């Protein structure tokens, strides 16, 4: 089973490398659309066969308030009016396909004094850093806490509780925090209330992708990773 769940690794590695390349070239003055075009070019150059998420390779949201926007790929259009500033952030969510298998990978890139910063480098601005650190905390909690018998619903309730207790909110328009990795987008099941399926019982990799904002804040943060179970019953990121 573990070997079977590794089939998405090449696509995920492609997405990771593409994110690093985009972060190395992104700069103030670029529009959201230019960033999206750049990201898709990088993924194609590295061998992506296409995009599994409504034919959107890179869902890019930049700047104050717009970075909080939650929108389906069916309706998404990168903005030509939103321009990156000297101190700004932009979230990028990649959906490449390699050997027919999905990658699903999102990160927030922080621009401070005109320089782009990508994890593991942390932003210095307190407003940026609180979101950066909360994202890392949620993913660490997931890795330490879940087991194959944990339900999709339990993950959603546990993580949403942490967010509420620390003054954050889940910005996803459906209120979920991730989904199973499938062969068809319509087959996905979600980390959401009411889903009693267990992570191990469903038997596929899954993503954890909290899209969060501080209550009353202007900035949205996103970090997505595909996770798989090892033979020891613990999860790890692809």
Spans of all domains in the chain: 4-237
Distances (CA, A) of 13 to 43, 123, 184, 202: 10, 24, 20, 24
Dig out the tokens for 228 from the structure.
Answer: 């798989």
- Rounded mean pLDDT of the chain? 96
Contacts of 3 (CB under 8 A, 6+ apart): none
How does pLDDT run across 7-55, given as a tens digit for each residue? 999 999 999 999 999 999 999 999 999 999 999 999 999 999 999 999 9
Q: What's the burial of 9, exposed, middle or buried (CB within 10 Å: 0-12/13-18/19+)?
A: middle
Under 8 Å between Cβ of 212 and 131 = yes
**CATH fold label, 4-237:** Creatine Amidinohydrolase (3.90.230)
pLDDT at 6: 85
Q: Residue 153 and residue 178: Cα distance in Å, rounded?
A: 11
pLDDT at 148: 97
Q: Residue 92 and residue 105: Cα distance in Å, rounded?
A: 8
Q: Residue 72 and residue 108: Cα distance in Å, rounded?
A: 18
How does pLDDT run across 169-195, given as a tens digit for each residue? 999 988 999 999 999 999 999 999 999
């Amino acid at each position: 089973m573990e070997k079977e769940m590794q089939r998405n690794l090449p696509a995920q590695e492609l997405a990771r490398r593409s994110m690093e390349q985009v972060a190395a070239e992104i700069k103030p003055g670029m529009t959201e659309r230019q960033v999206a075009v750049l990201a898709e070019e990088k993924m194609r150059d590295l061998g992506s066969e296409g995009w599994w998420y409504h034919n959107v390779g890179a869902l890019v949201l930049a700047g104050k308030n717009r970075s909080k926007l939650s929108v389906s790929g069916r309706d998404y259009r990168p903005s030509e009016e939103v321009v990156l500033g000297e101190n700004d952030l932009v979230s990028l969510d990649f959906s490449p396909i390699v050997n027919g298998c999905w990658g699903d990978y999102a990160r927030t890139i922080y621009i401070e004094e005109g320089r782009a910063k990508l994890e593991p480098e942390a932003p210095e601005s307190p407003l940026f850093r609180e979101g950066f650190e909360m994202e890392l905390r949620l993913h660490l909690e997931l890795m330490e806490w879940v087991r194959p018998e944990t339900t999709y619903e339990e993950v959603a309730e546990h993580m949403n509780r942490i967010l509420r207790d620390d003054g954050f909110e889940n910005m996803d328009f459906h209120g979920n925090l991730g989904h199973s990795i499938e062969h068809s987008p319509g087959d996905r099941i979600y980390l959401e209330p009411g889903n009693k399926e267990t992570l191990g019982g469903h038997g596929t990799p899954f993503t954890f992708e909290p899209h969060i904002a501080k209550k009353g804040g202007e900035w949205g943060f996103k970090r997505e990773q595909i996770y798989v179970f090892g033979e020891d019953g613990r999860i790890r990121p692809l």
